[in-house]
Amino acid sequence: MFLSVRRIPLLLQNRKINAASQILAMEKPYVLASKPGGRDGIFEEFAAIIDKHFTIVCNEEFVKSNKQFADKIEAVFVWSCLPNTDRGLLQSLPNLKVVVNGGVGVDHLDIPLISSFGVKVANTPNVVDNATADLGMTLLLASARRLVDGYKIAMAPSHVPQSFMGCEVSGATLGIVGMGRIGYKIAQRARGFDMKVLYHNRNRRTEEEENTVGAQYCEKIDDLLRESDFVMLAVNLSPQTHKLIGKRELNLMKPTGTLVNISRGLVVDQDALVEALQKGVIHAAALDVTYPEPLPRDHPLLKLQNVLILPHIGTSTYQTTQNMVERMVTNALAALSGSPVPDEVKP
């Protein structure tokens, strides 16, 4: 069968239209995020994981020309608490379907507000557990054995601290406040140091789980605080845990005790902690989290010799960060396709 000369241009035009339609159908969805590689953005080496599935609109670019992207953006990736998903942002994104947080804690997100716009919220639990538990034990060991002072002496022998004698970790008592996934992994690690493990949690673990890590349940947090040589905070920030550790709780701790916080800064009354450290109510503190972050350079915590502070790096390993970004993508793609979101956080 031969085509007429007149029909050939029409056929070619239809093919072009179909090809263009296929290209448009294959266009990647748009995601709003802080600039990869920036101070508050996802590390640049992991941006390719997102770029494979999404067109990334940097928050800075969106602020300058939001009308160009507002209708296209269907997902927001929150990293280091940014972009700020407030009412103004939500109102400006009519086709937004999901906000995905890099990390477990979502205390910086107004989930009821986001949900009121018909937008789902997800985080990245499970993948952060090992790295965070590792850092908790790192802080405990570094504080107990005065590693920072040891480093300073090795680098400058003239540096003479008040004392560089450390505390014994093996055989000591560790009290874990918050026996969720991360708390349980801390208990697993503590067992390797022959530590006696106490824990306080909203819900008691099963007898089998307790026996596996040799943990004893304290129904009252006061009992845990009185008996522990090291107190490790591994709870989510909520109205119930806001300033959970205050002046009263610190006074219950041993004067030789050390407070380790890997949860959120606001779980501790920071003013009360400063006073307790200054007056010798407790021996030391080791903190991966503070409020605010970073602390003002003139904050009294930065002037104390019995405090070890890190810049919230609990999940900062290559493997964990890659897993977090991959999980963010998985959650977002599920939301955009109308499938169940694996790590959805309900209001």
- Determine whether 312 is an active site residue: yes
Report the pLDDT value the prediction gives residue 71, as an integer from 0 to 100.
Answer: 96
Q: What residues in the chain have per-residue pLDDT under 70? A: 1-26, 160-163
Q: What is the pTM for the complete model shown? A: 0.88
Pick the catalytic residue: 189, 264, 283, 327? 264
CA dihedral 79, 84, 90, 93 (to 10 degrees): -60
- Determine whether 53 is an active site residue: no
Structure tokens at 340: 């169940």
Q: Where are the beta strands (DSSP E) in 6-145?
A: 30-33, 55-58, 73-78, 98-101, 120-122
Report the pLDDT value the prediction gives residue 161, as an integer from 0 to 100.
Answer: 65
- Determine whether 293 is an active site residue: yes
Beta bridge partners of 73: 30
Q: Which of 52, 24, 31 is nearest to 96 (CA)?
A: 31
Half-sphere exposure of 65 (CA within 13 A, CB side): 6
Cα gap 152→158, rounded to integer Å: 9
Report the pLDDT value the prediction gives residue 15, as an integer from 0 to 100.
Answer: 52
259 in Cβ contact with 285 (< 8 Å): yes
Report the pLDDT value the prediction gives residue 47, as an integer from 0 to 100.
Answer: 93
Q: What is the CA radius of gyration of the chain?
A: 25
Report the pLDDT value the prediction gives residue 121, as an integer from 0 to 100.
Answer: 98
Report the pLDDT value the prediction gives residue 21, as an integer from 0 to 100.
Answer: 39
Straight-line distance from the first to the last Cα atom of the chain, in angstroms, rounded to the nearest whole number: 64
Pick the catalytic residue: 293, 299, 326, 344? 293
